[in-house]
Amino acid sequence: MAASAQVLGPVLEDALAHLPISSTTEYKKWQTIYAPHAPARDIYLVVAGKVAVSGVAEDGSDLIVEIVGTDELFGESAFLGAARPRERAIAVEKTTVMTWAVSDMEELVTRRPRLAVALLQILAQRNGELAGRIESFATDGVERRLARSLLHFSERMGAPGGDGSVRIMPLTHALLSRYVGTSREVITQHMNRLRRHGYVNYSRHGIILYHDALKASIS
Please provide the DSSP assignment of 26-83 as one string: EE-TT-EEEBTTB---EEEEEEES-EEEEEE-TTS-EEEEEEE-TT-EE-GGGGT--S
Nearest to 148 by CA among 167, 161, 132: 132
Which phi and psi (to 5°) does residue 58 adopt? -60, -35
Residues 30, 127 within the same domain: yes
* Residue 12: predicted pLDDT: 47
- Domain hosting 85: range is 5-136
Let me know: does 83 contact 132? Beta carbons within 8 Å. Answer: no
Span 106-143, pLDDT tens digits? 999 999 999 999 898 888 888 898 898 999 999 999 99
Residues 118, 162 within the same domain: no
* Residue 13: predicted pLDDT: 64
Q: What is the CA radius of gyration of the chain?
A: 18
**Burial bucket for residue 19 (CB in 10 Å: 0-12, 13-18, 19+):** buried
pTM of the entire structure? 0.84
Of the candidates 136, 161, 186, which is a domain's last residue? Answer: 136
How many domains are there within the chain? 2
Residues 214, 151 within the same domain: yes
* Residue 77: predicted pLDDT: 85
C-alpha separations of 92 from 78, 169, 175 in Å: 21, 10, 9
Handedness of CA 144, 147, 151, 153 (dihedral sign): positive
- 98: domain CATH number is 2.60.120.10
Residues 162, 185 within the same domain: yes
* Residue 58: predicted pLDDT: 83
Q: In which residue ranges of the chain is pLDDT below 50?
A: 1-12
Nearest to 75 by CA among 22, 114, 142: 22
* Residue 7: predicted pLDDT: 37
Q: How far apart are CA 15 and CA 74, in angstroms?
A: 12
* Residue 14: predicted pLDDT: 83
